[in-house]
Each structure stands twice: as C-alpha cells, then as structure tokens.
C-alpha cells in the first residue's frame, strides 16, 4: 500500500511502569467519546484518565495528561485533532500513541488506516503503529465491499462505482443531532449532493479505485444504524462474474475475521429482499451481503453496521486494543 497506510512504530505498547495501559479520550464529552468511554469501562485491562472539565480546552493541561498516558483517542473536530497531535508530537519520545477518530489524518502520510480487516496484514500494521486514523463509518462499509473485488481482479480499479448509504443521525455531529432532538429535521434526506463529501478520498484510496466514486449519503430520522450499498451491472465486470462469484470473493477475503461476516444469499435473514438498518445496533459487527439476479445480470452489494459501533467507537476500541496488546 501507499505511505498513508504505514506509520512510525512504537517500541513498546506500555510505558510509565504501569501494570495496565492508561488512555486519555480527548473530547470524551462528544457522542463518539461517550461511546468509547462506555466500552472502555467494561475493559478491566485498561485505565481511563480524564481531564478536569474546566481544563478541557487548556493545551498545557491536555499535554500534561498526554505525557502521563500510553494512548490518546482524539474525538475532536478536524482542526482540533491536528492541534492535539501537534501537542503530542512536542512530547517527543514521551508522547503517547494516538487513535484519531476525526477525518483529519485518514489519508495523511505517517498514519495507519485503522481497518484491521482491510487485508491480511493490516491488523499487524495497526498493532505496530504509533498513529492510527479511525475509518469513517460510510467508508467502512464501502471499502469492506469494494476492496476485495478490486484486489481479486473482479472489479477494475477504474470501474465507475456508485455508493449509496443511509445512516442514523448520530453520525452527523452535534448540530445535526440537535435538529433531530428538537424535532425540526425531516424524516429522511439526501445530503452531500455537491459531490464533495469528506469521506470520498479515503473511500477511493483504500478501496483501491483509481476513478473517483460517486457517493450519495442520506440520513434517516433514527439515532443509529447504517446500510451502505453498491449496485453493479455484472456484465460490465471482467469475466462477467455471477453474484455468487462476488460472494465467494468476499468470503475468502474475510475468512476467520471476528467482526466482519459475509452473510450468504441463502441465509434466512437475506430472504425477502429487505434489510433493517438498525439490526446491528449496539454491536461492533460489520455484515456484508450480495443480492443478485441471474435473470437480469445485476447485483447489489450491501454492508450493514452500527455507525457508532464498527463505524466509530467500536472501531476505535478495536484499534487501541490491538495497539496496546490487550483483549477487547
């Protein structure tokens, strides 16, 4: 992969002469931060340190806490995440390892992309890295579906891909959550129609695509839960594969993965041609499916996940556990 998937390695997962690693969530009062803290509270193998609420925006206080922990999780807006990283960098060898949940570093040099199941080597790369960028929720589903097909040669890298997706409103940040909580938001809406959504660069890069995909996100009037779909005309793909060929490719790619599962077309949950976006809520699972029509030579690839689970907080905890060598 490119330099954006490799980062500086840490010589030891645990410092400060502690018996268990300490973690600081910078931005723990936000939606993702709260979800991460809730998950970490269930892990006796780690210690979570918090900053005095009155000093949450005090750079010196935050930097002092960074120097006293093994890993920092950034749950901040992009610019603030870059500033926080600079604070950590000023500590030199005493600086903590970082998992960044923002968009700031997902395609940046020196950062590892935190999708451990992306390929067979990625979990080991995450484990050895000092800087890990958490994937976006939408790209987690899109990359999960597309990358194996590109890697296997079933989809050309320059294929004109369209990715459609719907998420619960918790993925839209503080302002969007407020509009839904106040009852002033619509039941359903498309957005990002200027075709400049901030998730597209990582979606393209880590899917292995050379042609920029069209990404059409939407939000529904429910808190969390996500479906990501990729429609395909099978006869436009090399070798004109069947839907089952695509399913077999996904199965081979994710064989043995704990959190990513390929659900076969004959599974009872796939019958009826319907999927509930909320079915994986409160889990860290990513389910992948291939729905196809031999008659029409068409297929729809579908990923289902909790946008706050495998799409955010769950992924962050998975990554930090790999980095610190503790069980999730």
Cβ pair 100, 132 in contact under 8 A: yes
For residue 137, indicate whether it is catalytic: yes
Q: Which residues pair with 255 in a beta bridge?
A: none
For the chain, the three-class secondary structure string (H helix, E strand, C coil) is CCHHHCECECCCCCCCCCCCCEEEEECCCCHHHHHHHHHHCCCCCCEEECCCHHHCCCHHHHHHHHCCCCEEEECCCHHHHHHHHHHHHCCHHHCCEEEECCCCCCCCCECEECCCCCCCCHHHHHHHECEEECCCHHHHHHHHHHHHHHHCCCCCCCCCCEEEEEEEHHHHHHHHHHHHHCCCCCCEEECCCCCCCCCHHHHHHHHCCCCCCEEEEEEECCCCCEEEEEEEEHHHCCCCCCHHHHHHHHHHHCCCCCCEEECCCCCHHHHHHCCCCCCCCCCCCEEEEEEEECCCCEEEEEEEECCCHHHHHHHHHHHHHHHHCCCC
- CA 255/CA 250 separation, integer angstroms: 8
CA dist., res. 157 & res. 177, Å (int): 36
> Exactly one of 137, 249, 257, 321 is catalytic; which is it?
137
The residues carrying an active-site annotation are: 137
């Amino acid at each position: 992969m490119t330099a954006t998937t490799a980062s500086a390695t840490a010589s030891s997962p645990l410092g400060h002469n502690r018996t268990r690693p300490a973690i600081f969530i910078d931005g723990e009062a936000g939606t993702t931060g709260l979800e991460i803290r809730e998950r970490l509270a269930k892990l006796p193998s780690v210690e979570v340190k918090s900053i005095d609420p009155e000093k949450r925006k005090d750079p010196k206080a935050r930097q002092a806490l960074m120097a006293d922990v093994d890993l920092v999780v950034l749950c901040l807006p992009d610019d603030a995440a870059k500033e926080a990283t600079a604070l950590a960098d000023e500590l030199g060898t005493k600086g903590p390892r970082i998992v960044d949940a923002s968009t700031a570093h997902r395609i940046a040099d020196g950062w590892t992309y935190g999708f451990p199941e992306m390929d067979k080597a990625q979990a080991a790369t995450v484990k050895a890295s000092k800087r890990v960028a958490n994937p976006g929720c939408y790209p987690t589903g899109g990359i999960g579906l597309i990358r194996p097909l590109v890697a296997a040669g079933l989809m050309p890298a320059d294929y004109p891909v369209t990715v459609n997706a719907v998420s619960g409103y918790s993925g839209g940040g503080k302002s969007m959550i407020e509009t839904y909580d106040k009852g002033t938001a619509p039941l359903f809406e498309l957005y990002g129609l200027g075709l400049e959504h901030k998730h597209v660069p990582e979606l393209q890069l880590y899917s292995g695509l050379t042609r920029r995909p069209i990404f059409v996100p939407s939000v529904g009037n429910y808190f969390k839960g996500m479906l990501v779909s990729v429609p395909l005309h099978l006869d436009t793909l090399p070798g004109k594969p069947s839907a089952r060929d695509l399913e077999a490719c996904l199965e081979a790619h994710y064989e043995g993965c704990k959190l990513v599962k390929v659900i076969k077309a004959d599974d009872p949950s796939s019958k009826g041609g319907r999927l509930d976006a909320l079915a994986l809520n409160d889990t860290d699972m990513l389910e992948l499916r291939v729905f196809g029509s031999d008659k029409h030579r068409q297929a729809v690839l579908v990923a289902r996940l909790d946008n706050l689970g495998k799409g955010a907080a769950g992924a962050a905890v998975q990554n930090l556990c790999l980095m610190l060598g503790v069980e999730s």
